[in-house]
Structures are given as C-alpha cells and as structure tokens.
Amino acid sequence: MDENDEAIRTPIVSVLGHVDHGKTTLLDEIRGSAVAEAEAGAITQHIGSTVVPIDVIERICNPDEEFDLPGLLFIDTPGHHAFTTLRSRGGALSDIAVLVVDVNDGFQPQTVEAVKILDRTETPFVVAANKIDAVPGWKTQEDAPFAETFAEQSERVQNDVENALYEIIGDLHDNGFQADRYDRVNDYRSTIGVVPVSAETGEGIPDLLMVLVGLAQRFLTESLTTRPNGSGEGTVVEVKEKKGLGTTVDVLVYDGVVEVGDTVVVGGQLDPIVTEVRALLEPSEKVEINEEDEFNRVDRVVAAEGVKVAAPELDDAMAGAPFVVVGEDDELGDVTQRVRSE
Ligand code: GTP
Ligand code: MG
C-alpha cells in the first residue's frame, strides 16, 4: 500500500444531550456490552474515547448482512462548548451523533441547543429516547432488542411509551427535523430515527448500534475514507500536564498515521508549534476513559483513534487546535501556514 491508498476508517460518534439524560451511562452500557461480548482484550480504550470493533457490534446486533466498517469510535462530549470547538478540517469532528433524550423528561433547554449545533454543523444524528425502563409499569428484559421487549409490555405501558415518543418527535419537528420511531423510517436522509433505549438495562442498545452503523455505511462512506499510510491529521482534545512527560496533548486522530519521531505542527495560542513526537500513549486495558493511571507506549496509531502525545514545547497548545504530521513530501512552511489559518 502506498500513502495514497484509501480505506474506510472508523466513524467518530459523539454523544450529546441535556444534563442527566444519560449520556455517560449510555456509553458505559455500550462499552460494558462490548466488553461482555468481546474476547478478553478486544476492546481498546483510547484517550477520551472508546472504540468498539465491528465484530463485537455484529455479535450484539445479529445483522442479516455483515457490516462494512472497522467499528465505531464513541466520544463522550463534555458539554456543548467542547463539541463546537472540536472540529476537524472543514467541519465537525464527529461524523455522526447520538442525541440522548430522557423519554420521561422530553426536550429540555440543552436538548434544543444540541439540536441547533447538529443542524448548524450538518452532523447526521439519531435520537436515543433513553430510560424506557423508568416508564411506570415497564417490565425489563435485560439487553433485549426493542421490538422484543416492547411486545412484552402491557397495552397501557405501550401507549405511554408511544405518547412519550410522539412528544419527542413533535419537538424535533418544531426544530425543523422530520422524525419517526426508527423502525418506521424509510429514508434516514430525510427523517431522524428515534430509538427507544435504556442505558441502565441495555434494552434497545442493539437497535441503536444497528441504526448508527446503517447511517454511517449508507451516507458517510465518502467522508470516511482515510489514507491508512498517509500523514496523520487530528484535533487536540485536551492539553494536560503529565508527571515525567511535561505538557502533553490528547489528540483525536481522524486521518492517516502518527508515529513516534514524526515532525508535527500543532495549533498554539499565538503561533503554530513545530515539534517532534516523543511518545504515543494509549490507556491500558479497562482503564476508565479519563483515568490517569496506566498508559501503554505504542510506536504508531492509525485513524480514527484517540491518543496522548508527549512532545517538547507543547505549553501553548490549545484544545480544538489542529495537529498535523509533516509528511515526507510536505513543505514545513505549507503545513505551518495551513495550521495557522485553521
Ligand atoms: P451529565 O454528564 O451530567 O450531563 O449527565 P449524563 O447525561 O451523562 O447522565 P448520566 O449518564 O450521568 O445519568 C444521569 C442519571 O440517570 C444517573 O443517575 C443514571 O443512573 C440515570 N440513568 C441513566 N440512564 C438511565 C436509564 O436508562 N434508566 C434509568 N432508570 N436511569 C438512567
Ligand atoms: Mg455525563
């Protein structure tokens, strides 16, 4: 393969929604079912993100046909501000989003804000109508697909769920989006799918993953092409002091490869920083997303992946700034100019 070869990379999925509606619990549940389904070690924790490989998703979803993506990379967006500052070249950093709405609480101010941001950044999204287990009278079947568990509910509970979903669908409509329960959507290009789930019991999670993969496969394949041997590009997610390493940056690499020894240009407070990658660090197995504990050193990372980068001169680096590897055929001046103008 040479550096112009293309492949489909892992789509970056961010999770947004009103406070306490269940974003973190949803991610924990997805990670948990993935860990339960995977052979030991198959799930990798990346900095600020979780990658779920496609064979694990297939085992959770049991699709009719094999999926055609390497997996899904989920990021728990710490607030809308972070979401809006985290951009890749020319657009939103995430390829798709999950908008989490508490089905018993409906649209709230931050839900509306999130919808506006998704609209503005033209990010395709699905709605996870969360906490169906908390609808009065709900009988839980752990980890069941929605249709299966819904069929087991009383008529009254079914009606209550439908009414709550219609409220959400109406609120989406008021914000300019056509929406429907996901299993009634014919065209995901024009209609937002609403997937009833419980992040607590795992009900509906297979459906949510299925819709996400379907959305990515059908509508994003163009924007998901990456050059698996091309020079890496990413976005700084966080700038952090790390004992023994000085200032490090957590980077979400969305294209190409980053290797130890690479010359990189990183957006800084005043001027772009030119430096050399000293170390690439991945959290070791099962470490919680933002826990600082243990890191494994790796020689290279391939998009899409989150990684902690140690390099000199990073004190002025900024969250949201571009991180670009200077490739063999690149002029340093061109790359610096590009980073400056982004
Ligand atoms: P912030 O990060 O503070 O915005 O909240 P969040 O959206 O990440 O919500 P979080 O996952 O922390 O969940 C908030 C509360 O809702 C916690 O007490 C969860 O246990 C509870 N919760 C989340 N999902 C569910 C669910 O599906 N069912 C029920 N019954 N409770 C849930
Ligand atoms: Mg949270």
Q: Would you say the CB of residue 25 lies under 6 angstroms from ligand 1?
A: yes
Q: Would you say the CB of residue 134 lies under 6 angstroms from ligand 1?
A: yes
Q: Would you say the CB of residue 18 lies under 6 angstroms from ligand 1?
A: no
- 76 has binding-site annotation: yes
How many angstroms separate the CA atoms of 302 and 8, rounded?
Answer: 12
pLDDT tens for residues 32-61? 776 666 654 555 555 567 788 888 899 888
Q: What is the 195 CA–ligand 2 centroid distance (Å)? A: 20
How many angstroms separate the CA atoms of 233 and 251, rounded?
Answer: 9
Q: What SS3 class is residue 160?
A: helix
Tens of pLDDT, residue by residue, the chain (342 residues): 566 677 888 899 988 899 899 988 898 888 877 666 665 455 555 556 778 888 889 988 888 888 889 899 988 765 565 566 666 665 677 899 999 999 999 999 989 999 998 998 889 999 999 999 999 999 999 999 999 999 999 999 999 999 999 999 999 999 999 999 999 999 998 999 999 999 999 999 999 999 999 999 888 877 788 887 899 999 998 898 988 889 999 998 988 999 999 999 999 999 999 999 999 998 655 444 444 556 788 999 998 888 999 999 999 999 889 999 999 999 999 999 999 988
Q: pLDDT value at position 246? A: 93
Reported in sequence order, the residue ranges of 68-218 that DSSP labels E, i.e. its strands, are 71-76, 87-88, 91-92, 96-102, 125-130, 179-181, 192-196
pLDDT tens for residues 201-219? 999 999 999 999 999 988 8
Please report, rounded to a whole number, the percentage of residues in the chain having pLDDT higher than 90: 56
Q: What is the 131 CA–ligand 1 centroid distance (Å)? A: 8
**Which residues are registered as beta bridge partners of 129?**
101, 196
Phi-psi region of 14 (alpha: psi -120 to 50; beta: other; left: phi over 0): beta
How many angstroms separate the CA atoms of 121 and 100, rounded?
Answer: 18
Q: Which atom of ligand 1 is nearest to the CA of 197?
A: 27
- 46 has binding-site annotation: no
How many angstroms separate the CA atoms of 258 and 228, rounded?
Answer: 10
Q: What is this model's ipTM? A: 0.99
Q: pLDDT value at position 82? A: 59
Q: Would you say the CB of residue 256 lies under 6 angstroms from ligand 1?
A: no
- 17 has binding-site annotation: yes
Can you give the pTM of this predicted structure? 0.87
- 286 has binding-site annotation: no
At 140, the amino acid letter reads T
Q: Would you say the CB of residue 141 lies under 6 angstroms from ligand 1?
A: no
Q: pLDDT value at position 275? A: 98
CB neighbour list of residue 76: distance below 8 Å, 6 or more residues apart: 14, 15, 23, 24, 27, 48, 289
